[in-house]
């Protein structure tokens, strides 16, 4: 099967209300050649004898969130028709990183949806800001918020719970919705690529059907690795699920000790999409590991809110031990790993993927487990040119979009077309708002 067919096959097992014909249409639009540069959509690349990179960054924004955010809007738009909802969806997003651009590209020109993204004026990387401000599409809007990510997020959260604003939206024929990573419409499309990658390994003769394959995932909100866990539950012969963290290692501690303790310093790192203290999708794992005991999970979550920590039962801990391993890697070792893998294997890693490569290496050294492993490769290295050039020992770095060409020259790797195209794209959005007036921006946007 093609990737699109695999997506329909897997999603159809869950989405009884959608016909195969509908899902086929969505998959063609979400994962077709206009959106994904690689024909296989998610190519599996052999890096050495037993290590494979699952390249999740061949989509329009060059990061793995495209796999989910290209599909979610079609599921949502279809659901509006199926539920006979007469209003259209107005998606609000507060972002400090890849999610904003991913959501804009995903919802761009999807019927019955409008999307407005707020980003902190002082809190996104230059390349990410440029990606958002040049966004195309008739139903999109982008606005900077004065302040940091918390200011943007607080402003957006307030709007979601403002009944007066909801009424004004209703008069205009809209209701609010979100696109955050706990949305099932984001988790489900991510299961597909673990099924697909296993099929590809069998088809290429790298493994025999039934052989175990370990998976190592650079983790933030626990969405990507949760999808691997679900694929395993569904019968894909996955072995150890290795959760890789940067210096924000709350998940490493949790998976190794059974105690989740968010009371720790927050570190800003060179793998910003993993800078997180509370991983919202972890609650879903707990639900599964407790045998769907929602009272027990609610108890853990209440403890987390009230005391900042919880410890899972021994039964839950032993299920964690049977499925997971975990490790962390700071910025220094991340840069080392980018340099090492480039020199020794000729494969270029972005900082997030490098965290996973190093944690896999640590795991193999500590356990002697040399089972073939898939490493989720979550972003193109060209999204993080400065860190990657630093890792390769280049200290004099070009500015603006010129740094893309510099990394291409140093490595001989091509600049991904969507990033190369940024140079010539006109800026479409230049508005800045203070966080107390975001509702005015929404109403102006909807007109």
Distances (CA, A) of 420 to 46, 61, 267, 310, 381: 26, 12, 31, 46, 13
Q: Are strands 51-55 and 44-48 parallel, antiparallel or unpaired?
A: antiparallel
CB 177 within 8 A of CB 40: no
Residues 347-366, interacting with ligand PLP (CB under 6 A):
352
**Closest to ligand PLP by CB, 88 or 275:** 275
Cα 102–chain centre separation = 9
Q: Which residues contact 271 (CB under 8 A, 6 or more apart)?
A: 218, 246, 331, 334, 351, 352, 354, 355
CB of 198 to ligand PLP, least distance (A): 19
Kindly write out the interface string for residues 159-198 of this chain, putting x where it contacts ligand PLP by CB under 6 A and - elsewhere.
Answer: ----------------------x-----------------
Residues 384-413, interacting with ligand PLP (CB under 6 A):
none
Binding status of residue 379 toward ligand PLP by CB under 6 A = yes
Nearest to 117 by CA among 371, 433, 358, 379: 433
The one among 224, 246, 323, 328 contacting ligand PLP by CB under 6 A? 224
Binding status of residue 63 toward ligand PLP by CB under 6 A = yes
**Closest to ligand PLP by CB, 106 or 220:** 220
Task: Count other C-beta atoms under 10 Å from residue 213's C-beta.
Answer: 23
CB 414 within 8 A of CB 117: no
Nearest to 403 by CA among 60, 64, 127: 127
Tokens for 370, please give them.
């040399």
CB of 63 to ligand PLP, least distance (A): 5
**Closest to ligand PLP by CB, 159 or 255:** 255
The one among 59, 155, 218, 381 contacting ligand PLP by CB under 6 A? 218
CB of 65 to ligand PLP, least distance (A): 5
Binding status of residue 220 toward ligand PLP by CB under 6 A = yes
The count of chain residues that interact with ligand PLP, using the rule CB under 6 A, is 17
Binding status of residue 222 toward ligand PLP by CB under 6 A = yes
CB 53 within 8 A of CB 47: yes
CB of 194 to ligand PLP, least distance (A): 13
Residues 95-124, interacting with ligand PLP (CB under 6 A):
98
CB of 389 to ligand PLP, least distance (A): 18
Binding status of residue 378 toward ligand PLP by CB under 6 A = yes
Binding status of residue 284 toward ligand PLP by CB under 6 A = no
The one among 8, 11, 36, 65 contacting ligand PLP by CB under 6 A? 65
CB of 246 to ligand PLP, least distance (A): 10
**Closest to ligand PLP by CB, 95 or 390:** 95
Binding status of residue 274 toward ligand PLP by CB under 6 A = yes
In whole angstroms, give the CA distance from residue 108 to residue 381: 25
Beta-sheet strands, E only, within 126-227: 140-145, 174-177, 213-218
In whole angstroms, give the CA distance from residue 29 to residue 236: 26
Nearest to 62 by CA among 408, 400, 425, 383: 383
Binding status of residue 223 toward ligand PLP by CB under 6 A = yes
CB of 329 to ligand PLP, least distance (A): 13
* DSSP symbol at 346: -
Q: Which residues bind ligand PLP (CB under 6 A)?
A: 63-65, 98, 181, 218-224, 273-274, 352, 378-379
């Amino acid at each position: 099967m093609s990737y699109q067919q695999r997506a329909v096959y897997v999603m159809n097992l869950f989405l009884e209300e959608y016909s195969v014909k509908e899902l086929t249409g969505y998959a063609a639009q979400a994962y077709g050649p206009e959106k994904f540069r690689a024909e296989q959509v998610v190519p599996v690349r052999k890096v050495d004898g037993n290590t494979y990179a699952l390249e999740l960054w061949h989509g329009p924004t060059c990061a793995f969130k495209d796999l989910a955010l290209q599909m979610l809007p079609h599921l949502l738009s279809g659901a509006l028709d199926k539920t006979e909802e007469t209003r259209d969806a107005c998606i609000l997003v507060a972002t400090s990183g890849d999610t904003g651009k991913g959501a804009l590209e995903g919802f761009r020109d999807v019927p019955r949806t409008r999307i407005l993204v707020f980003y902190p004026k002082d809190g996104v990387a230059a390349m990410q800001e440029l990606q958002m401000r040049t966004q195309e599409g008739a139903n999109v809007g982008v606005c900077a918020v004065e302040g940091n990510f918390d200011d943007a997020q607080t402003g957006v959260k307030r709007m979601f719970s403002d009944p007066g604003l909801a009424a004004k939206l209703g008069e205009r024929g809209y209701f609010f919705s979100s696109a955050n990573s706990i949305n099932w419409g984001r988790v489900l499309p991510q299961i597909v690529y673990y099924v697909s990658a296993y099929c590809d390994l069998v088809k290429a003769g790298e493994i025999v059907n039934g052989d175990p394959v370990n998976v190592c995932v650079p983790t933030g909100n626990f969405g990507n690795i949760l999808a691997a866990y679900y694929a395993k539950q569904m019968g894909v012969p996955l072995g150890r699920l290795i959760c890789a963290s940067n210096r924000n290692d709350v998940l490493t501690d949790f998976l190794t000790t059974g105690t989740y303790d968010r009371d720790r310093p927050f570190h800003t790192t060179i793998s910003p999409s993993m800078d997180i203290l509370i991983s919202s999708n972890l609650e879903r794992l707990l639900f599964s590991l407790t045998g769907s005991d929602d009272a027990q999970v609610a108890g853990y979550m209440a403890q987390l809110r009230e005391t900042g920590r919880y410890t899972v039962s021994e039964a839950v801990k032993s299920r964690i031990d049977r499925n997971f391993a975990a490790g962390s890697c700071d910025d220094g070792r991340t840069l080392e790993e980018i340099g090492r893998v480039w020199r020794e294997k000729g494969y270029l890693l972005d900082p997030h993927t490098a965290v996973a490569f190093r944690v896999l290496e640590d795991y193999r050294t500590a356990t002697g487990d040399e089972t073939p492993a898939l490493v989720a490769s979550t972003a193109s290295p060209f999204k993080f040119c400065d860190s990657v050039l630093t890792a390769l020992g280049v200290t004099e770095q070009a500015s603006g979009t010129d740094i893309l060409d510099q990394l291409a020259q140093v490595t001989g790797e091509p600049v991904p077309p969507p990033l190369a195209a940024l140079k010539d794209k006109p800026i479409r959005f230049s508005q800045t708002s203070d966080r107390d007036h975001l509702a005015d921006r929404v109403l102006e946007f909807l007109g």
